[in-house]
Structure 1
Amino acid sequence: MKKFSIVFLFLSLLISCSTTKKIVNKPIVFNTEREQLTLDYLSTRYGIEQESSVIIPKMIVLHWTVIPTLEKSFKAFNDPKLPNWRPDIKNVSGLNVSSHFLIDQDGIIYRLMPETKMARHVIGLNHCAIGVENVGGTDDLPLTEAQLISNIWLVKYLKKKYDIDYLIGHYEYQKFEDHELWLEKNNDYRTIKTDPGEDFMKKVRSATEKLNFKSLPQ
């Protein structure tokens, strides 16, 4: 990602602090099938037995899709059942991956599902984590400055709305293995992640430093 100019940093600060930025609702399918698959996931993966898939958010996890367009990214999350091209995690659960928010390359923020419903986006922590996906993340299609601004704004919005303790990049999730929030029962169920990139996370953390998120476990 290119270094910011002084002018752009100033504009970024103004936009990220704005309270007028809009979230566009673009819901994925969350029918009775997805609800039941989510309840099954909570039960088998975490030992949580409850009547609905409601969560209490304590964490925000930032991701990238490594998919080139908004519509293709949306399509990847839309179906309740996991597609056949995800054999690496299909045997663990048939619940499709998803995220609460999806941010396009132009910075527009889409809400895919309620923040207080469980989405499958991070091993061990789905029961307490809000997921934020960003379209792109490849060498040919890196995350944009517009996405950075929107991530900063959204983190501030969510921190104000909920009692959020932690902000992490997906690549940092295994730091929580011995933490009280970690509930994954299978010690062999892990995947290596790099999203949304260390540089991207440093910039988001720098811009949200005053929110006083807790330090990550070492």
Structure 2
Amino acid sequence: MKKYLICLLAFSFQTIATQDIKPDFDIIQKPILFDQQRKDLTLEYMQAHYGIVQDEPTIKPTMITVHWTVIPTFEKTFNAFNSATLPAARSKISSAGALNVSSQFVIDRDGTIYQLMPETIMARHVIGLNYTAIGIENIADGDSLPMTDAQLEANTKLIKYLARKYPIDYVFGHSEYQHFKGTPLWKEKDDNYLTEKNDPDAEFMGKLRSRLTDLKLSPLPN
């Protein structure tokens, strides 16, 4: 635990330049385990998939990816992300590396915002773009658990806050990530590593984008 806290503090100091920008809403700090194993696996992933070699698994955020979990509760989502290594059940993506999936933020169904990782530490949540993308997961599945109005409000507040801290050019749903293939932003080295996603639904993303027009975001590549 002591080693983990030292590691987390070191990561926090790397974002000191933006720490003077504070949210005017609550963000509950609920850090997942980021021990030496997870750090090493993240660095390995960055090198293998993006050709990025560096001493710390830091990113420079320029985009935000919005997801839904298909996991019914925050507690189960936290437990799914907490391990450093990918569980056996994720066999479809295990060939791309042992690093577990995660995201920097999770928004519960009542709009409660949890921060699981520092914003400038890489999380595995979107193929080809993790090196520059902050991930926001929402407790929803688009079926029995549709996205809620409270989640729409929370995503809006969180994204506007992050856009004040970082030069965010793009906000997109996980289902839209392949728009970046063929652009300079796409760094995935394995052409066969792709997944088809449907989250969040187009209606939710339309509502979210209508609330973010003041950010002057770039349109998605064709």
Output one character per residue of 1:163-186: Cα deviation in whole Å (capped at 9) or x when no partner: 111111000000001111100011
Residue 199 of structure 1 corresponds to 203
Output one character per residue of 1:100-137: Cα deviation in whole Å (capped at 9) or x when no partner: 00000010000000000000000000000000000122
Contiguous gaps of at least 5 residues in structure 1: 1-18
Aligned equivalents of 1:199 and 1:155: distance in 2?
A: 18
Once residues 138 and 72 of structure 1 are traced to their aligned partners in structure 2, the CA distance between those partners, rounded to angstroms, is 17
- Structure 1 counterpart of 2:105, from 78, 101, 108: 101
Q: Distance in 1 between matches of 2:143 and 2:156?
A: 22
Given the alignment, which residue of 161, 164, 170 partners 1:166? 170
Structure 1 residue 177 corresponds to structure 2 residue 181 = yes
TM-score calculated relative to the size of structure 2: 0.89
Report how many aligned residue pairs link the two structures: 200
CA contact (8 A) 2:142 2:200 kept: no
1:120 aligns with 2:124: yes
Please give the per-residue CA displacement for 1:67-101, whole angstroms capped at 9, x wherever unaligned: 11110011111100000000000111000000000
State yes or no: 1:26 paired with 2:17.
Answer: no
Q: Percent identity?
A: 53
> Equivalent residue for 1:45?
49
Residue among 141, 146, 154 paired with 2:158: 154
Secondary structure at the residue paired with 1:110? strand
What amino acid sits opposite 1:86 in the alignment? R
In 2, distance between residues paired with 1:139 and 1:154?
24
Residue 20 of structure 1 and its aligned partner are, at CA, apart by: 2.6
Partners of 1:138 and 1:145 in 2: CA distance = 13
Distance across 2 between alignment mates of 1:146 and 1:137:
15
CA distance in 2, matches of 1:138, 1:201: 12
Output the CA distance in 1 between the equivalents of 2:179 and 2:143. Answer: 26
- 1:134 corresponds to 2:153: no
1:83-102 maps to which residues of 2 (within 5 A)?
A: 83-102=87-106
TM-superposed CA distance for 1:45, in Å, is 0.6
Spell out structure 1 runs of 4+ moving beyond 6 A. Answer: none
